[in-house]
């Protein structure tokens, strides 16, 4: 009987090697861009992806204030949050939120695409979003990626 040589490789936490990637968000569509970022954070772009191990890489996003949305979402997309007090539901349109916190739409989209678990919360810690072209992550020597 022949031995099966197609073995599934499952990584252990100690075997993970991390890199940092630099992505430019200018002109990219919000949802499609967030899906690519999520793939890198989870580690699904690697051949040895293991779902229960944090094997993803870090992501630095620049030009978050230049992210694009399609259709009428710039005026009609609404971010809702609850302050915790009575009648404390707040609704903020996309335009206003992007003016106040340019990193929020990308961060919220990526968080929504990750699974809701402790592992995903650990993966979100490796996401850095900057409004302009300047960032303070030079020590990680991020690799620029074109999408």
For the chain, what are the domain ranges? 18-145
Q: How confident is the model at residue 6 (pLDDT cuts 50, 70, 90)?
A: confident
Main-chain dihedrals φ then ψ at residue 42, nearest 5 degrees: -80, -25
Tell me the CA end-to-end span of the chain in Å, nearest whole number: 47
Residue 147 confidence (pLDDT)? 82
- List the beta bridge partners of residue 93: 78
Report d(CA 41, CA 38) in Å as an integer. Answer: 5
> Is there a contact between 57 and 125 (Cβ–Cβ < 8 Å)?
no
Report d(CA 127, CA 134) in Å as an integer. Answer: 15
Answer whether residue 2 shows pLDDT above 70: no
Q: Which residue has the higher pLDDT, 89 or 147?
A: 89
The dotted CATH code for 18-145 is 3.90.1180.10
- As given in the structure block, the two tokens for residue 147 are 């999408």
Q: Which residue has the higher pLDDT, 146 or 34?
A: 34
Instruction: Report the pLDDT averaged over residues 74-99.
Output: 96
Q: How confident is the model at residue 111 (pLDDT cuts 50, 70, 90)?
A: very high
What ranges in 1-147 are assigned the alpha helix state H? Answer: 30-42, 73-76, 94-100, 104-113, 118-124
Provide the Cα torsion 87, 89, 90, 93; round to 10°: -130
The string over 92-119, giving b where at least 16 C-beta atoms fall within 10 Å of a residue's C-beta and e elsewhere, is bebeebbeebbbbbbbbbbbebbeeeeb
Mean pLDDT over the full length of the chain: 94
Instruction: Report the pLDDT averaged over residues 105-121.
Output: 97
In the block, residue with structure tokens 């992210």: 67
């Amino acid at each position: 009987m022949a031995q099966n040589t197609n073995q599934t490789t499952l990584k252990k936490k100690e075997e993970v090697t991390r890199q940092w990637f630099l992505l430019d968000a200018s002109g990219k569509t919000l949802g499609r861009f967030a899906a690519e970022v999520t793939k890198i954070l989870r580690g699904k772009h690697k051949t040895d992806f293991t779902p229960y191990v944090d094997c993803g890489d870090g992501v630095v996003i620049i030009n978050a204030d230049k992210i694009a949305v399609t259709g009428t979402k710039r005026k009609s997309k609404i971010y809702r949050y609850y302050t915790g007090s009575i009648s404390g539901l707040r609704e903020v349109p996309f335009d206003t939120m992007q003016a106040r916190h340019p990193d929020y739409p990308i961060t919220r989209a990526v968080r929504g695409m990750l699974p809701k678990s402790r592992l995903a919360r650990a993966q979100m810690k490796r996401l850095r979003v900057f409004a302009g072209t300047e960032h303070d992550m030079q020590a990680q020597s991020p690799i620029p990626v074109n999408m």
